[in-house]
Amino acid sequence: MRSSADNNYPEQHKTNWKIIAGLWPYLTEFRGRVILAVGMLVLAKVATVATPVALKYIIDYLDQNRGVEMLLWAPLLLVGAYGALRFGSTLFSELRDAIFARVAERAMRRVSLRVFKHLHQRELAFHLDRKTGGLARDIERGTTGISFLLRFTLFNIVPTLLEIVMVASILLVAFNVSYVIAILISVVVYVVFSIKVTEWRIAFVREANSRDNQSNSRAIDSLLNYETVKYFNNERFEAEQYDQGLEEWEKARLKNRLSMVALNTGQAFIIAVSLIVIMSMAVREVAAGQMTLGDFTMVNAYLIQLFVPLNALGFVYREIRQSLVNVERLFGLLGDKPAIEDAADAKQLSLQAGTVQFNDVHFSYNPERPILKGVSFTIPAGHTVAVVGASGAGKSTLARLLFRFFEVNSGSISIDGQDIRSVTQDSLRQVIGVVPQDTVLFNDTLYNNLAYGRPGASEAEVQQAAQQAHLASFISTLPDGYATQAGERGLKLSGGEKQRVAIARVLLKNPPLLILDEATSSLDSISEQAILDALNAVKNQRTTLVIAHRLSTVRDAHSILVMDQGEIVESGSHSELLAKNGYYAKLWLQQQQDV
């Protein structure tokens, strides 16, 4: 049974608030826009806070001149000012959002690209352990969380605090300190309650995210292995496994929602009590003649105006905490350095002849299970060396180490005397072409999959590579030709067709060094011979390492290395090894009998 675990890096129990400070570099790219947006924010808040003052003067003027002839232009002027302030508040807020929109969207783009590049720099072991579905969710939630943090931290928390200060100052000047004290007590109680309960809820948010990753990973894993599911008639089993993940996600989401109900109810109760207390103070002063109806209306307007954004602040704080959880997962990915990095003084590989040398190489994926045990051999420039042996002997590991998917535990691998650890990975991989045993194609057209070997190649060059790989005749039989879709992971093509695409890609790349890892394992005998003829023509000018299980495909190699349990037990040409009547001869005899 496949594991549903997705937590490949540890959860942090406390959210790192420094993440917000880490977003500052994304604001500096458009510093002028940020400053202008903050200016619009201040103007919007000034207009918002001034609106109840205009309303107070309208009501007082009408109340004081009730029953007497009044100048109509005065209240109309006040009404016009009231309307202008209301419109100004909305206008400046919208302008603020419009100006800042590019900053937030660019930040999401920058972070997404940074994460994408970083993931491609990670070592192969990371991707072998990582669940793609959960990783995709982390990236999606993280980038969305960054946009939220940038917009709401700057445009909700800061303006709400600014509004509280402005309202408190007006009430202090217009009335007395008791109103300011009552409002400040209400705000403090509200904020403390919101923070405490939100911190309690974060565990449920993390659990919901984790369960979401697990169920999504399970779904993607199952769909990518659609054929395997069908072969074993396990549709019901897969549905049950997926539903188990959804059930856990459902429970986590329920806890999350119920805790939110408790938070919202508590916040509403605090606001209601605060309104009752402060409005009761105002009613008493109106009854005593110490406050006008306009003053009473202004106090009421300010309370509503204050508690609405304060209530929104509670929502924003909740979302910011959740966004921080999402962003910390994303930044956690960025914080993990690749296990394989270029040395500080790494140079470009200087390819001269193309001689490859393995010198006493030891390697293990797991310390408890050694794979290579002191392997040493040389591939002279322009020569073909084949490595054969039983499954698990360590043949494909040689290719992975040469390509620097993994680092050797001890010993060294060099090209023209240059240790591959001392050169840049990019320059190393530019000179090596690989035809893997298991070819996976992009869900794109056949042409684009072929052109991937050298994206800048002309159409004629792409078609020539297809011709050399004996793929052109097959493509000509397809209704859409080169525009045929390969399907998810190339599933619309047979194993042999996919392998020929892989060979065509390498022919198009035209590298000086070749690694053929069971390059013809999925081909029939006729196609195999045709491909071997094409590869032999190409190999004449290249240093080639051939990993093979079928011994008939490597008879023409300059030298054949026979591996067993991580060691080279025999070496020589095909005829020399048969003459030794050793391990290779037994393998050859066995394969001849199986034909």
The pLDDT assigned to 408 comes to 92
Beta strands in 416-509 (DSSP E): 418-419, 432-435
Q: How far is CA 323 from the centre of its chain?
A: 15
Name which residue leads in pLDDT, 379 or 214: 379
pLDDT tier at 29, thresholds 50, 70, 90: confident
Q: Three-class SS of residue 28?
A: helix
Q: What's residue 3's pLDDT? A: 42
Closest to 509 (Cα-Cα) out of 447, 405, 427, 432: 432
Asked if 388 and 569 touch (Cβ cutoff 8 Å), the reply is no
pLDDT interval class at 14 (50, 70, 90): very low
Q: How confident is the model at residue 375 (pLDDT cuts 50, 70, 90)?
A: very high
Q: Contact 151/108 with Cβ under 8 angstroms?
A: no
| Residue/partner pairs of 229-237 with CB below 8 Å, 24 or more apart | none
Write down the mean pLDDT value for the chain: 80
Nearest to 194 by CA among 99, 88, 320: 320
* CATH numbers and ranges of domains, the chain: 18-335 (1.20.1560.10), 342-431+511-595 (3.40.50.300), 442-508 (no CATH)
Q: How far apart are CA 341 and CA 22, in angstroms?
A: 24
DSSP 62-95: HHHTTTS---THHHHHHHHHHHHHHHHHHHHHHH
Q: Name residue 362's beta-bridge partners.
A: 373, 410
Interhelix angle 293-335/31-64, nearest 10 degrees: 160
Q: Which residues are 356's β-sheet partners? A: 379, 415
**pLDDT, tens only, 550-585:** 787 788 888 999 999 889 999 999 999 999 998 989
Q: What is the mean pLDDT of residues 31-38?
A: 83
Q: 3-class SS at 234?
A: coil
pTM over 0.75: no
Q: Is the pLDDT of residue 13 over 60?
A: no
Terminal C-alpha separation, the chain: 36
The predicted model gives 221-240 an average pLDDT of 77
Does 1 or 59 have the greater pLDDT score?
A: 59
pLDDT band at 4 (very low <50, low <70, confident <90, very high): very low
Residue 245, classed as helix, strand or coil, is helix
User: Each residue of 309-363: pLDDT tens digit?
Assistant: 676 666 677 677 777 777 777 776 666 677 788 888 899 999 888 899 999 999 9
Helices 73-121 and 293-335, axial angle in degrees (round to 10): 10
pLDDT tens string 443-495? 888 898 888 888 888 999 999 888 888 888 888 888 888 888 887 666 677 77
CB distance 430 to 506 below 8 Å? no
Residue 333 has, within 13 A of its CA and on its CB side, a CA count of 31
Query: Residue 412 has which token pair?
Result: 């060294």
State residue 380's pLDDT score: 92
Pick the closest to residue 534 from 558, 493, 499 (CA basis): 499
User: How confident is the model at residue 12, as a pLDDT?
Assistant: 43
What value does the mean pLDDT take over residues 184-194? 86
Tokens in use for 79?
A: 């009404």
Question: Does residue 153 have a pLDDT over 80?
Answer: no
Q: What per-residue confidence (pLDDT) applies to 263? A: 82
Question: Hey, how many other C-beta atoms are within 10 angstroms of the C-beta on 408?
Answer: 20
pLDDT at 594: 62
Q: What is residue 409's predicted lDDT score, i.e. its pLDDT? A: 92
Question: What percentage of the chain reaches a pLDDT higher than 70?
Answer: 83
* pLDDT score for 72: 66
Per-residue pLDDT at 130 exceeds 70: no
Position 538 scores a pLDDT of 63
CA dist 294 and 299 (Å) reads 9
